[in-house]
Amino acid sequence: MPSEGVQKKGTWVMLRSFHGRAGIAAVVALLVLAPPFAAAQQFTPGQEIEYRDGAAQWAPGTFVRMLPNGNQALIRQAPSQFFPEGFERAYSLTDLRPRQPAAPAAQALRPAPQAAPAPQPKAAVPAVATRVPAVPQGAGLLNQQQVLDYAKQVLGPNPWAQPNRDAAISQIRDYIKSRGVNFQWTLAFDNQLGAIGANAVHITSAIGANYGAHPTLQTYIGNFNLQSQARAAQSVSQQGGRAVVTTTDSAARLGSIRINADRTYVWDVLGDGKVIRGTWREATEDEKQAWEGGPSIWLLNARGGQDYQVRADRQPGWAGWIDIGMGKGRIAVQYGQRTS
Reduce the DSSP state of residue 159 to 3 states and report it.
helix
CA 242-247-250 angle, to 5 degrees, is 170
Q: Which residues have CB under 8 Å from 207's CB, separation 6+?
A: 147, 176, 181, 183, 184, 185
Q: Which residues have CB under 8 Å from 99's CB, separation 6+?
A: 47, 48, 49, 50, 60
Residues of the chain with pLDDT under 50: 1-40, 106, 108, 125-130, 250
DSSP symbol at 135: P
Domains assigned to the chain: 3-33 (no CATH), 44-98 (2.30.30.140), 144-209 (no CATH), 217-338 (2.40.128)
Yes or no: say if 281 and 300 are a contact pair by the CB < 8 Å rule: yes
Number of other residues whose CB lies within 10 A of the CB of residue 172: 25
User: How much is the mean pLDDT over the chain?
Assistant: 77
pLDDT digits (tens, 9 = 90+) for 279-329: 999 999 999 989 999 999 999 999 888 899 999 988 887 778 898 987 666
Yes or no: say if 157 and 126 are a contact pair by the CB < 8 Å rule: yes
Yes or no: say if 14 and 3 are a contact pair by the CB < 8 Å rule: yes
pTM of the model: 0.54
Yes or no: say if 264 and 279 are a contact pair by the CB < 8 Å rule: yes
What pLDDT does residue 238 have? 61
